[in-house]
């Protein structure tokens, strides 16, 4: 696998990395993990990938902020991830963000 592209301007750095992630060949194992998510967890992780805070996700989905925290814990556990950033990258890499736009 090649390294992510390097860019001298910080404005384009995230875009370059996201394009790199989108072009990584899809593995069947992560796809299987996506099927473990409930519909509500998918809604939460997609909103998370859009950069929303727990409070903003709660407002958008009309849920309590504590419920969002529980959903995020479940998402991270089911996808075998350790951070919100990893979850956001996972969503972009596997095109989940494109399915509900």
pLDDT band, residue 1 (cuts 50/70/90)? very low
- Rounded CA separation 13/6 (Å): 7
- Rounded CA separation 63/66 (Å): 8
Tokens of 19: 């394009």
On average, the pLDDT of the chain sits at 77
The pLDDT of residue 40 is: 92
| pLDDT digits 0-9 by tens, 20-43 | 555 555 554 555 566 688 889 989
* DSSP 8-state code for residue 7: -
């Amino acid at each position: 696998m090649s390294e992510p592209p390097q860019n001298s301007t910080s404005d384009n750095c995230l875009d370059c990395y996201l394009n790199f992630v989108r072009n990584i060949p899809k593995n069947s194992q992560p796809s299987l993990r996506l099927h473990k998510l409930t519909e509500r967890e998918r809604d939460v992780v997609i909103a998370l990938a859009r950069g929303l805070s727990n409070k903003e996700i709660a407002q958008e989905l009309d849920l309590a902020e504590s419920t969002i925290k529980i959903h995020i814990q479940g998402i991270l556990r089911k996808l075998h991830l350790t951070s919100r950033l990893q979850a956001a990258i996972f969503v972009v890499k596997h095109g989940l963000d494109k399915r509900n736009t």
